[in-house]
Structure 1
Amino acid sequence: MKAAVLKAFGSPLAIGNVPDPVIGTGEVVVDVAAAPVLSYAAEVFSGERRYLLPTPVVPGCGAIGRVREAGPDATKLKPGDWVFCDPTVRSRDDALTPDIVLQGWSARGEGGQRLQEYHRDGAFAERVRVPTENAVPIGAIDPTEAASWCAIGVLLIAYGGLLAMDLKAGETLLVSGATGNFGSAAVATALAMGARSVVAPGRNEAVLADLKRRFGERLVPVRLTGDGDRDTEAMRRAAPGRIDAVLDFLPPSVPASVARAAIMAVRPYGRAVLMGGVGMLGGEDLALPYPWIMRNNITVRGQWMYEPAAVGGIVGLVRSGLLDLDHYAVDKFALEDANDAVTHAAANVGPFKLTVLTPGG
């Protein structure tokens, strides 16, 4: 089969023929129709991000495709079924604390690297092999819709954070980092789940205005000033009611003070979920006040990616019409043009933008 191969960090992807994936028990081989190209793929392939990804490797984080062959223990999947290839692969021998690898992308820890040795190659190819539970049915679609369905890879991460905080219909959510790729996905997903309103703080007035245009009165933009106390108060005042929960998607470049200002806008008994990159490049710690957390019964937790059941939930939101994939502008590239796609993805970063490889033509 044809694939794009990263032979060494710092080298361009090599397009050529590689052996077909060989199926085993508990696995599915999928014909890839569309695979997302993440905006920071160039940083991964150059080695700048220092991801634990052994080369040579077929990269690619997730895909939409059709089942080509299912293993002997599959009871429902059959050839031709449209599926989302979930890249979040979990070890099966420890249900409480599984090792996790993003297939074709990265691994965490010694156990994750062992898992990666087998679940290694990703979706920048005509076919990909995934664990059976990672081939999640999405129902019949027109092949021309496959690229748009790649958006659920981004939406799923936001959905994972919203499930972690147990967001309820009618609640008011504040999304810290709402003007970014994942933050904007959180806005769309929270409103689809029935949030009363979403408070969207940020400095990019053009993006805030675009969010308002897309989502109407339930989207409440707040222009940040950089003064933590003033910004916290501005977010509280802007909300139509008390802020029930905060979801943080701020990138590593943003100081912790910005995250702290947003979290401290939450009401007593409120919740905050951290999913961003604050502190990963150094700088000050988050430093939330102990007395404030304790006396106000605040829940603060971290969330990385999402639980397996989230995939079916996000598919349901799309199928119901509550979550509209048409928000995403999709630019498609043939597999042969994978290097151009990586360059394009880096240059077209922002909310509701999607770069996709289409190995299936």
Structure 2
Amino acid sequence: MRVPTENAVRIGDLAPADAARWCALNTLLVAYGGLLASDLRAGEIVLVSGATGHFGSACIAVALAMGARCVVAPGRNAGVLADLARRFGERVRIVELTGDEATDRTSMQQAAPGPIDCVIDLMPPSVPATTVRAAVMAVRPYGRVVLMGGVGMLGGAGLELPYPWIMRNDITLRGKWMYPTEAVTLMAGLVRGGLLDLGHFDVTRFTLDDANDAVAHAAANGGPFRMTVIAR
């Protein structure tokens, strides 16, 4: 296989039995890009908006690996929320969303063990802007917000935030697309250092000859921490 050198980063030798699991980096790195952009520091409290999704659940794992004191995980899927609580323990505080903006914002703030330092939004385009705003405005004064989701991409209302709230609370608000090149090496270090466990991912492998079966399997078995990989 040939690839442009600017698109390839060495991550070191991999044991053949573990190689497929390292494909999880493709998901983890997107979340990592947002967390790096948020300037997350060890001991801080993070809220992951979209926590029950593909990228949101990965963001929880990465935030904990980076030393977050706690991750607030709001979502609508009770089954996935329960799995996140089981998987990560007391450092994850789950919140089942009701759809009422004020109620959900209060629930997220109350679930956290202290003021929420930063919010990472990874919501898909299908989610109403009010759901995202509830999470964004749960952040503390002088807090940081990173937008990586899809609000407004399918039409409909965009994300409207009160100008006075942003200004008077000294909120840092930024967008982030993907991740910087150096994130690949840093992410590999988190894995090799034992801080991030790729064992969270349930990997099903197929050969190239069975590619059609792989596609069917992926379509029927999607969800957080599930991967279908075509490997030699």
Q: Scaled by the length of structure 1, what TM-score is found?
A: 0.63
* Mapping 1:100-179, distance limit 5 Å: 128-179=1-52
Give the structure 1 partner of residue 199 of structure 2: 326
- Can you give the 5+ residue segments of structure 1 that lack an aligned partner in the other structure? 1-127
1:289-344 CA distance string (max 9 Å, x none): 11100111111111111011100110000000110000000011111122222222
Report the 3-state secondary structure (helix = DSSP H, G, I; strand = E; otherwise coil) of the residue aligned with 1:130: coil
Match of 1:269 in 2: 142
Runs (4+) off by over 6 Å: none
Q: Percent identity?
A: 68
Alignment of 1:206 with 2:79, yes or no, is: yes
What's the CA shift for 1:205?
Answer: 1.1
From 281, 284, 297, the counterpart of 2:157: 284
Residue 351 of structure 1 corresponds to which residue in structure 2? 224
Larger radius of gyration: 1
Q: Which amino acid aligns with 1:154?
A: T
Letter in 2 for 1:146: A
Matched, 1:223 2:96: yes
Aligned length: 232
In structure 2, the partner of 1:182 is: 55
Where does residue 130 of structure 2 map in the other structure?
A: 257
Give, as a single letter, the amino acid of the residue that structure 1 aligns with 2:111. Answer: A
Per-residue deviation, 1:134: 2.9
Please say which of residues 170-179 and 344-353 is displaced more in the overlay.
344-353
| 3-state SS of paired residue (1:346) | helix
Question: Counterparts of 2:101 and 2:8 in 1: how far apart (Å)?
Answer: 44
Shift of 1:144: 1.5
Number of the residue aligned with 2:108: 235
| TM-score scaled by length of structure 2 | 0.98
More strand by share: 1
Q: For 2:48, what is the secondary structure of its paired residue? A: strand
Structure 2 gaps of 5+ residues are none
Quick one: which amino acid aligns to residue 170 of structure 2?
A: N
Per-residue deviation, residues 270-296 of structure 1 (Å, max 9, x unmatched): 111111111111111110111100111
Which residue matches 2:190? 317
- Amino acid in the other structure paired with 1:287: E
State the AA in 2 paired with 1:298.
Answer: I
Q: Are 2:174 and 1:306 aligned?
A: no
2:212 aligns with 339
- Give the CA deviation at 1:140: 2.1
Offset at residue 213 of structure 1 (A): 0.7
Q: Secondary structure at the match of 1:198?
A: strand
C-alpha distance after superposition, 1:28-85 (max 9, x if no partner) = xxxxxxxxxxxxxxxxxxxxxxxxxxxxxxxxxxxxxxxxxxxxxxxxxxxxxxxxxx
Structure 2 counterpart SS, 1:241: coil
